Amino acid sequence: MAYPISKRLIPPLYSLWIRKIEGLENIPKDRPFIIAANHASYYDALLPAVIIAPRLNKKVHAMVNSYYWKPFITRFLLDLWEAIPVYVDKETDAKKKNKEAFEKALIYLKKGEPVMIFPEGTRSRDGKLRKAYPGAAKLALKSKMEVLPVGVIDSFKVLPRGAMFPRFVRCEIKIGKPIKFNNKKTTKKVIDETTRSIMKQIAKLINQKYSY
């Protein structure tokens, strides 16, 4: 019961801070895919899923830092949306737990449900792209699924670091065309090249350059 209610309430609430959305026609309707988006604010933590999920009538499973399962409110929301916890290196058994998280993401994709990743792994303070981790590339290469690049502009102005409440500004979302990677090998070189390809598409959407 809680999920249908949240599905109806959260998107209209989020839309109050959205100026424009472009590229909705690029969302695949008949197959699972991986959403890869830039990350600059707590506001955009659910934003790609909030925009895409209602148009598919499916849950979008975000891969999220396990830290956010500690507070009750965020844990409730993350469990409601069946998000996948990802563990930082300093946590006990992080490597083992992250392998399980990766497998869970593959299972959701095989079931036909999208998975969402923020390749940068953390928020950018000023909206400028940070160096990405290889998780999105590894998942794309392993699953053979397309990557849907999503660029969010000015979300760091909506809810900057340290702010308790959203400001009266709006952000813009641009959804690119799905990217298909056909590499059969998953060497470090291939993973790095795939990561850069994903980030360069995101960069293009938000009018930036990815130089890593």
In terms of phi and psi (left: phi > 0; alpha: psi -120 to 50; beta: otherwise), the region of 102 is: alpha
171-175 and 18-22 beta bridge pairing: parallel
How high is the pLDDT of residue 6? 53
Lowest mean per-residue pLDDT among 21-30, 37-46, 188-197: 37-46
Q: In this model, does residue 191 exceed pLDDT 80? A: yes
pLDDT digits (tens, 9 = 90+) for 59-84: 899 999 888 888 888 888 888 889 99
Q: In this model, does residue 96 exceed pLDDT 70? A: yes
Q: Which token pair is 196? A: 């850069």
Q: What does CATH list as the number for 2-205?
A: 3.40.1130.10
pLDDT digits (tens, 9 = 90+) for 152-162: 999 999 988 87
Q: What is the mean pLDDT of residues 184-190?
A: 87
Q: In this model, does residue 5 exceed pLDDT 60? A: no
Residue ranges of the domains in the chain?
A: 2-205
As a whole-number percent, the residues of the chain with pLDDT over 70 amount to: 96
Q: Which token pair is 55? A: 């148009």
Q: In this model, does residue 1 exceed pLDDT 70? A: no
DSSP string, the chain: -HHHHHHHHHHHHHHTTEEEEE-GGGS-SSS-EEEEE---SSGGGSHHHHHHHHHHTS--EEEEEGGGGSSHHHHHHHHHTT-EEE--TTSTTHHHHHHHHHHHHHHHHHTT--EEE-TT-S--SSSPPPPPPSHHHHHHHHH--EEEEEEEESHHHHS-TT-SS--S--EEEEE---B----S---HHHHHHHHHHHHHHHHHHTT-----
Angle formed by the axes of helices 135-143 and 94-110, nearest 10°: 40
How high is the pLDDT of residue 57? 83
